[in-house]
Amino acid sequence: MSTAESTNNLKETFRIAWPSVTESVLIVLAGMVDTYMVSTLGKASVAGVGVTNQPKYFAYTMFYALNTAIASMVARRLGQKRRKDANGMFLTALVFVTAVSVVLGLLCVIFARPILLLFGANPQTLPMAVPYWNIVMGFSVFNLVSMYINAAQRGCGNTRIAMTTNLTSNVVNVIMNYLLINGHCGFPALGINGAAIATVLGTVVAFFMSVRSLFKKDSFVQAQYIRAEAIRPSRESVKELVPMSGTLLSENLMTRLGFAITGALTARIGTDPYSAHIVGMTFMNLGFAFGDGLQSAMVALVGKSVGENNPAKAKSYVRSGQKFGLVISVIVAALMLVLDKQIFGLYFPNDPIMLEYGQLISRFIAVIMPIQVAKIVFNGMLRGAGDVRFTLIGSTIGVTIVQSILMYFLIIRMHTGLTGVWVSILISQAVQLALFSWRYFSGRWMTAAQPKGA
């Protein structure tokens, strides 16, 4: 590939990636603001909200898998210029997402207490976690449908639509947090329930904006096109989506199983260190957000390149993604090291023990961040190419097996507390990076896609 082509691919990577990176970072920043505002209610409130995270992600597992599958499939259909097939798959899965998310929300509310207890809630956190969970999960259909539409748009390369949607949603969320958590401008002080209501209002706004994006004239996935071509949900679309979605679902389930195990183990280290851990994970998620934005770009760009049968172009996109990822992760890691006390001091002012926990966590994050972002970029490349069986293998080994076993040994057997938690996370990320990078350099991902999707 010539220098000019490599430069063009670098620019194209940046054009697709920056809205996705911005979107992902804004989502995490909104979560950090949520945690900060909830922290004004006390450390127990932080732990109560934090304990809902893993069961929520676990409940969303099926939808995350389908979102990645539709993004990859749409990207490949874009490269193959098969618009009708792309829209058929989109509509088929949209009907499924809408119906199942309504049922999911109902079940989560009905079985709230046993679900939260299973995922590590204790008598101190359960009374705060249940009402928050019921509000957020009871209205989850808006969030899930919005995420699905945005995933399809990313597959088309329309990453700005998803960025704008989430930016607006997060602004609404933060404003309503301010008004409802502690009560301002005449609004009632609803505490944790106020935070949950603010989250729901933000997702409702995102839902309507995402739906509106389907009516834009330049959209590859478009409501008017679906109507004009009389496209209906079909078995053929199901047959194409199921293999990839099923494998991605297995990967997500195994990963979430690992997170559930480690989350339950982490909850045993005590309320204070666990609260510090929750705050630390919001900053860990900041690194994930940068990587996730680049991953979305890799799914779209590599998927399209595979659809065009151009592996050299796909490799160029991956190299570009890794360059961007390295720069971003080093900057964030440096900030964590320099501003560790100031960052954790915002959440736990005048609490020297919590600041010590914060310093420990910040040092781990600084080391983990570049590893994590590089791993996520390779993972996005493999998903875009359709090599989802290997992402299943790599994630299962790294998270479900390695991280769970290490955390059990270090926390339960060795009683290493917070240090053991973060040592386990570090080693898990390193194992996954080693596996995914090996797969990339082996070149086997080029022929790994399902025949119909290649």
Q: How confident is the model at residue 92 (pLDDT cuts 50, 70, 90)?
A: very high
What is the residue type of 407? M
Average pLDDT for 52-67: 84
Distance from C-alpha of 258 to C-alpha of 58, rounded to nearest angstrom = 10
Helix axes 271-307, 43-50, angle to 10 degrees: 40
Which residues, 6+ apart, have CB-to-CB distance to 296 below 8 Å?
17, 20, 24, 71, 154, 159, 380
* C-alpha dihedral (106, 107, 109, 113), degrees to nearest 10: 180
Dihedral pair phi/psi, residue 288, rounded to 5°? -60, -35
Tokens of 114: 């046993």
For the beta carbon of residue 381, count every other beta carbon within 10 angstroms: 30
Give the pLDDT score at 246. 85
Which candidate, 108, 428, 28, places its Cα nearest to that of 262? Answer: 428
Tokens of 418: 């917070």
Q: Judge whether 201 and 173 are in contact, CB under 8 Å.
A: yes
Q: Judge whether 398 and 315 are in contact, CB under 8 Å.
A: no
pTM of the model: 0.74
Total domains in the chain come to 1
Q: Is the pLDDT of residue 7 over 60?
A: yes
Domain range spanning residue 56?
A: 3-453
User: pLDDT for 255-277, tens place per residue?
Assistant: 878 887 887 888 788 878 888 88
User: What single string gives the DSSP state of each residue in 375-412?
Assistant: HHHHHHHHHHHT-HHHHHHHHIIIIIIIIHHHHIIIII
Q: Is the pLDDT of residue 454 over 60?
A: no
Q: How confident is the model at residue 452 (pLDDT cuts 50, 70, 90)?
A: very low
